[in-house]
Structure 1
Amino acid sequence: MNRVDLTAKAKDLLLELKEKHGDLMLYQAGGCCEGTQPQCFRKGEFYLRYKDVCIGEIEGVEFWVDKDLFEYWKHAHFELDVIDAIGAGGFSLEVPLGKTFKVNYRIFTQDELQQLSEVKINL
């Protein structure tokens, strides 16, 4: 069972960004402002913290989550979506396109919790 999936709009945008920028990564921080939305970077241009968690890969893009946020949301499924808006800041690659990634959450069922994919920890 995947911990993260994406909408068709988010898939289209990720593919557009990959074509323009190459390999990408997504990062969801637990802080305020820019930390309230997932950020998209060229792979390797954002430095992960010790024990940050990769909850999965979508369209070949790793989705990393702040270690503290993961502890809070480890029982939730993430669905990457996109809206037509400019988010809290300008570091994410989709911002110049007038787009902002966002995450929709839902709690896993008990059956789903038993079938979850393993996460990868940054050490």
Structure 2
Amino acid sequence: MVKRVEISDNAKEVIDQLRAQHGELIFHQSGGCCDGSSPMCFPKGEFILDHNDIWLGTIHNCDFFISKSQFEYWKHTQLTVDIVKGRGSSFSLEIPLGIRFIIKSRLYSEGETANLSPIKLATEIE
């Protein structure tokens, strides 16, 4: 199965640091205000998910969700969570560290498209 979302080693290090401070984490790719389409990291349970959110998989033991509208836009691409220096303007946990998570994307090949990992509605995740 081809994963729909991946993560860089640098982003894994940041997640380890945030997890030590905040406990279990989730990511959400909303495409809304603040940093636009930057992925946001929250303590698990502090971001309300509903039937408008889709679970794409896990990155470094964190569930990764995306809004349905953004999924329609990004469904042809594999997303990779990475970091860049600079303070973002979101509510994401990494902002006080002077960095922010970003998304890098690439189109799937035809062979990959036929073998994508399944998605689920957020309401189907425990």
TM range (shorter): over 0.9
| Paired residue secondary structure (1:105) | strand
The whole-number CA distance in structure 1 between the counterparts of 2:120 and 2:20 is: 26
Q: Which residue of 1 aligns with 2:97?
A: 97
Q: Contact between 2:89 and 2:95, CA under 8 Å: does it hold in 1?
A: no
**2:120 & 2:106 partners in 1: Cα distance?**
21
Residue pairs, 1:1-123, within 5 angstroms: 1-89=2-90, 91-123=91-123
SS at match of 2:46: coil
> Structure 2: where are the runs of 5+ without partners?
none
Q: If the length of structure 1 is used for normalisation, what is the TM-score?
A: 0.93
Aligned letter for 1:49?
Answer: D
TM-score, normalising length: structure 2: 0.91
Q: Which runs of 5+ in 1 are unaligned?
A: none
Which secondary structure state, in structure 1, belongs to the residue aligned with residue 112 of structure 2? helix
Percent of aligned positions with the same letter in both sequences?
A: 39
CA contact (8 A) 2:65 2:122 kept: no
| Runs of 4 or more consecutive aligned structure 1 residues displaced over 3 Å after TM superposition | none
